[in-house]
């Protein structure tokens, strides 16, 4: 009887680990689609500098190259991707937006586990600690240069995360955090943070100002 219980427990644990792993691919795909759609809006708005527009176009091209793999991992059919690449090559932002929206409807992003219900003092402290330790080195320089002069010298600058958190829809900022720390796509390391830690960062960036 006892052994049965233990086995049942182990089976349940293995099953849920597998379910989580599969869910993680689906979630990453959904988040990537949100980020891509956001980048399309940024480019299409025409408010970005020419250099930054170029960086975003390159990032979109990179995202579209890895999208089929991401989709297969999530158990989705990548048949729609080649058409999206053609549309990007034409820089038809409206058509790309429509194509990405169609994919987003099939793969909706659920940010609930990241979005903090409340910005408790503990969460804010955790967010601040992670930021100072792991992010400020790059994203703080940008904070200074943003105030002095808009950074136009890099294709994809390390944005001011405090501003991004307040400017972007929460779900989009959560997706950008999830897709994560990627100073450079070619070295892209997987996001090493838990949902709790991402939620703490999100709460901190939203709450804290920059002096």
Q: Of residues 44, 95, 134, 146, which one binds ligand HEC by CB under 6 A?
A: 134
The whole-angstrom separation of Cα 61 and Cα 84 is: 10
Q: Of residues 44, 115, 124, 135, which one binds ligand HEC by CB under 6 A?
A: 135
Q: Of residues 129, 182, 207, 208, which one binds ligand HEC by CB under 6 A?
A: 182
Place of tokens 């804010």: 124
The whole-angstrom separation of Cα 198 and Cα 177 is: 7
To the nearest whole angstrom, how small is the minimum distance from the Cβ of residue 185 to ligand HEC?
6
Residue 165 contacts residue 205 (beta carbons within 8 Å): yes
Q: Of residues 109, 139, 202, 203, which one binds ligand HEC by CB under 6 A?
A: 139
The whole-angstrom separation of Cα 76 and Cα 30 is: 11
The whole-angstrom separation of Cα 165 and Cα 148 is: 20
Among residues 30, 40, 50, 178, the alpha carbon closest in space to that of 104 is found at 30
Sole window of 10-18, 78-86, 117-125, 178-186 interacting with ligand HEC (rule: CB under 6 A): 178-186
Q: Of residues 30, 176, 202, 203, which one binds ligand HEC by CB under 6 A?
A: 176
CA 168, chain centre distance (Å): 12
The whole-angstrom separation of Cα 34 and Cα 146 is: 25
Residue 34, exposed/middle/buried by CB under 10 A (0-12, 13-18, 19+)?
buried
Place of tokens 């601040």: 128
Residues 87-126: x/- map of binding to ligand HEC (CB under 6 A)? ----------------------------------------
For position 137 contacting ligand HEC by CB under 6 A, the verdict is: yes
To the nearest whole angstrom, how small is the minimum distance from the Cβ of residue 205 to ligand HEC?
8
Q: Of residues 183, 189, 196, 210, which one binds ligand HEC by CB under 6 A?
A: 183
Tokens representing 79 are: 């048949």
For position 201 contacting ligand HEC by CB under 6 A, the verdict is: yes
Which residue lies nearer to ligand HEC by CB, 28 or 139?
Answer: 139
For position 158 contacting ligand HEC by CB under 6 A, the verdict is: yes
Tokens representing 126 are: 């955790």
- Residues at the contact surface with ligand HEC, assessed by CB under 6 A: 35, 130, 134-135, 137-139, 156, 158-159, 161, 176-177, 181-183, 185, 201
């Amino acid at each position: 009887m006892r052994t049965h219980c233990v086995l049942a427990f182990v089976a349940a644990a293995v099953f849920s680990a597998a379910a989580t792993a599969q869910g993680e691919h689906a979630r990453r795909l959904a988040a990537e689609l949100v980020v891509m759609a956001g980048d399309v809006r940024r480019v299409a708005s025409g408010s970005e500098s020419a250099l930054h527009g170029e960086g975003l176009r390159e990032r979109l091209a990179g995202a579209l190259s890895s999208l089929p793999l991401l989709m297969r991992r999530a158990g989705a059919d990548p048949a729609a991707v080649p058409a999206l690449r053609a549309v990007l090559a034409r820089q038809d932002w409206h058509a790309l937006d429509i194509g990405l929206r169609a994919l987003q409807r099939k793969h909706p992003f659920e940010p609930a586990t990241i979005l903090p219900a409340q910005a408790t003092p503990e969460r804010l402290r955790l967010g601040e600690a992670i930021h100072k330790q792991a992010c400020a080195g790059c994203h703080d320089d940008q904070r200074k240069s943003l105030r002095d002069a808009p950074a136009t010298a890099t294709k994809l600058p390390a944005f001011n995360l405090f501003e991004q958190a307040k400017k972007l829809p929460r779900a989009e900022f959560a997706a950008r955090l999830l897709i994560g720390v990627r100073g450079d796509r070619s070295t892209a390391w997987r996001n090493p943070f838990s949902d709790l830690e991402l939620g703490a960062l999100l709460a901190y960036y939203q709450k804290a100002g920059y002096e």
